[in-house]
Structures are given as C-alpha cells and as structure tokens.
Amino acid sequence: MEVAALERRRRLAGLKGVAEAAGAADASAADARKADLDNVVEKKEDEDEEDMEDEENENENENEKEKENENENEDMEEKEQKDVTATITPTLSSDPTPTQNPMPMPTVEIEAQRLIEASKRQREETAEQQLSLADLAPKKANWDLKRDLEGKTAELEGQTQAAITRLIRQRLEAQKN
C-alpha cells in the first residue's frame, strides 16, 4: 500500500515537472490534473484504511467467538467433573441417618456404564462433524453420461438433418411427377 502511494507521488512530481516545462497556460490544466490525482490517491488510501479496519473487526469477532466456545467447553468439562466426583465421593458419615442418603461407592459396572455413555457422546459429535456422502456426491448423477454422449449425438444430429432434407426432396419430386 505504501509502495503504491509512493509511486503515485512520484508520478505526481513528474506531472509537476511537465507542467512547468509546458508553460503557464498548461500549468493550470496540470494543477487540475494534480488535484484530481490527489483526490483519487486520498480516496484509495481511505478505502485501504477502511478495509484494514474491517479486517481487524472481523478478527476481533472471531477471537471473541473462540473465547466464548472455550468458555462453554470449560463449563461443560467442569460440570462433567462435578458429576463424576459426586458419584465417586463417599459420604463422610459412617452411619447414615434416615434424612441423609448415602452415596453409593462406584463399582466397576457403574464406571463401565459411564465410559460407554461418554464414548457414545463422543462418536455422535464426531459423526456430526464429518462430511456426509451426500455432500460429496455430484449434484447431477448423470452429468458424466451426458458429457460422453454429446459427441455422438452431434454426429447423429447431422445425419438426421441430412435424412430429413433427403426425404423432403423426394416428396417434392414425387409431387411434381
């Protein structure tokens, strides 16, 4: 961007030199061209600045979205951790009272069930992220067949037209006779 601006200024300086050499009458026309060129340069620089600001805003928005996603993931991980610790943590009291429900000690079966559920959730998430075959299939299933037959149909089209003209001529001759 700066290189282009320097190039424009160099050309502008060249125009000034030409204007001085051409005389006073041409100087006013050169000044007008110079003013027009300055306006164009300013507009271009303003557009470049706006583009850079837009890109910065987009980058900031993307960063904010990433942070939100990270926070959501962290919250879910903390919740899962709390769920796991709640099932694993035994009660502190050795003899439970009727108002206090004792936490069952985790058994192998409970732990296995939890792992199976976690793996199912993980498989479902990865399946959603993967591309489906419908996305990979061509939009028109027979596009390749049409492409292969175009050359053959063009040749047959010419033969068909020749046969039609031949039949018309024969009928016309038969009507004359």
pLDDT in tens, 102-114: 566 668 888 889 9
Domain residue ranges in the chain: 1-73
For 49-58, 109-118, 130-139, which range has the lowest pLDDT when averaged over its residues? 130-139
Instruction: Return all residues near 20 (Cβ < 8 A) that are at least 6 apart.
Output: 27
**Rounded Cα–Cα distance for residues 83 and 105 (Å):** 14
pLDDT on residue 160? 95
**pTM > 0.85: yes or no:** no
Residue 2 has pLDDT above 90, yes or no: no
- CA 10 – CA 21 distance, rounded (Å): 17
Q: Which tens digit of pLDDT belongs to each residue from 55-76?
A: 888 878 887 878 777 777 777 7
